[in-house]
């Protein structure tokens, strides 16, 4: 009869289990090579998080100061400019930028509301580091975004960074991942479509001032509108549109891209997202202003869903409002009477019922 050395057998089993744990740990380190931290943002009602990657830093905030209540996540995607999450206005005052338009008290009743900082953009900046349009230019003295931002400003990067944040938050007990709402405004709505298409955890999608066409399409359409209104002649419109066509040729030219790498953004956002949108099975909410010419193609979106035999969409048009949901008065946006809070609250109510 062969006797088993129990002590040696125990050591062998322990060794194998330990090696499996070490291998699992190494795999995690390889695929999740980042460190993170979290802090309250000054005296604001936000907690900031920083994920340090090898070649990137992802800053994001949650609009709350106490994270002891489990709620679903609502991730908001900003528009196209590198607007910082906060502006330091001096005298120890820090004010929120993109989330400052919303009724956060109402949103927090139902969700942990998060927004990710734009790539290569500090989370908090001083007023002097902003352009007249309130996007980050640093100390360059330029009126344009920084070169670092321009090189990182492409849709694949936004979707990747968002999924890193989502994966990180999935490890947190205060997030209820039975529901994940992703929404975005303008260019951010295109990013939101990309996230929903790539991440099966997304359960609801909200698109504000969304255009599924190429970025340049809206510019060409606006030129036509100027001519229709008599603001420019049709000959001037022809010249302006021709200039845009020549620019688009450079966008698609690989040699031009090597000389002007900032055109990477234009090429990235020159792909239609309608097929991705129409392929989704989750509920989709789309809202825009009637005066936003860049969203004129919204009228065509139902056709794509109908062709797929789908009814999982809802479209809301806000009469008299423009791209940022301000009313048009005497031909100009009335910035004192914005409707963003009402627009977002209507979406929140829809998300709770669908």
For residue 224, being part of any structural domain is answered with no
Q: Could you list the residue range(s) of the whole structural domain that residue 198 is in?
A: 34-213+272-353
For residue 130, being part of any structural domain is answered with yes
Q: List, for residues 133-160, the tens digit of each pLDDT value.
A: 889 988 767 788 888 998 999 999 999 9
CATH number at residue 91: 3.40.50.1820
CA distance 89 to 126: 6
Helix, strand or coil for residue 227? helix
Res 35 pLDDT > 80: no
Q: Rounded mean pLDDT of 188-195?
A: 98
Res 47 pLDDT > 80: yes
Site of tokens 């997202």: 273
For residue 285, being part of any structural domain is answered with yes
Cα dihedral: 121, 126, 129, 132 (round 10)? 100
User: What pLDDT, on the 0 to 100 scale, is given for residue 89?
Assistant: 86
Q: Rounded mean pLDDT of 41-53?
A: 89
For residue 236, being part of any structural domain is answered with no
CA distance 52 to 242: 44
CA distance 278 to 271: 15
Q: List, for residues 101-120, the tens digit of each pLDDT value.
A: 999 999 999 999 999 999 99
For residue 21, being part of any structural domain is answered with no
For residue 182, being part of any structural domain is answered with yes
What spatial distance separates the first Cα and last Cα of the chain, rounded to whole Å? Answer: 68
Instruction: Supply φ then ψ for residue 171, to 5 degrees.
Output: -90, 0
For residue 25, being part of any structural domain is answered with no
User: What pLDDT, on the 0 to 100 scale, is given for residue 261?
Assistant: 79
Q: How many CA atoms are closer than 13 Å to the CA of 121, on its beta-carbon side?
A: 28
For residue 305, being part of any structural domain is answered with yes
Indicate the pTM of the whole model: 0.86
How many domains in the chain?
1
209: nearest Cα among 229, 228, 230, 183: 183
């Amino acid at each position: 009869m062969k006797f088993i050395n129990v002590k040696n057998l125990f050591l062998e089993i322990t060794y194998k289990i330990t090696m499996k744990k070490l291998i699992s740990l190494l795999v995690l380190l390889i695929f999740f090579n980042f460190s993170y931290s979290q802090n309250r943002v000054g005296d604001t009602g936000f907690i900031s998080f920083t994920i340090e990657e090898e070649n990137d830093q992802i800053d994001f905030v949650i609009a709350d100061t106490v994270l002891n209540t489990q709620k679903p996540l609502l991730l908001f995607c900003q528009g196209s400019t590198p607007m910082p999450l906060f502006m330091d206005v001096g005298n120890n005052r820090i004010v929120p930028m993109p989330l400052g338009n919303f009724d956060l008290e109402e949103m927090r009743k139902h969700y942990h509301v998060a927004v990710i900082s734009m790539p290569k953009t500090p989370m908090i900046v001083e007023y002097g580091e902003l352009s007249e349009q309130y996007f980050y230019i640093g100390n360059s003295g330029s009126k344009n975004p920084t070169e670092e931002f321009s090189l990182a400003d492409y849709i694949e990067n936004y979707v990747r960074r968002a999924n890193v944040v989502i994966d990180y938050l999935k490890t947190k007990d205060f997030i209820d991942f039975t529901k994940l709402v992703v929404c975005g405004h303008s260019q951010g709505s295109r990013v939101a479509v990309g996230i929903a298409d790539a991440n099966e955890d997304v359960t609801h999608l909200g698109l504000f001032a969304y255009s599924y066409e190429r970025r340049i399409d809206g510019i060409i359409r606006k030129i036509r509108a100027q001519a229709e209104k008599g603001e420019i002649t049709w000959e001037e419109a022809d010249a302006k549109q021709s200039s845009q066509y020549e620019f688009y040729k450079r966008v698609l030219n690989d040699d031009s891209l090597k000389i002007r790498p900032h055109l990477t953004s234009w090429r990235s956002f020159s792909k239609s997202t309608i097929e991705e949108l129409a392929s989704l099975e989750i509920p989709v909410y789309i809202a825009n202003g009637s005066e936003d010419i860049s969203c004129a193609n919204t009228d065509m979106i139902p056709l794509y869903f109908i062709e797929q035999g789908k009814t999982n969409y809802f479209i809301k048009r806000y009469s008299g409002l423009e791209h940022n949901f301000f009313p048009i008065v005497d031909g100009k946006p009335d910035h004192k009477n914005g409707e963003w809070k009402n627009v977002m609250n209507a979406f929140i109510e829809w998300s709770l019922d669908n």
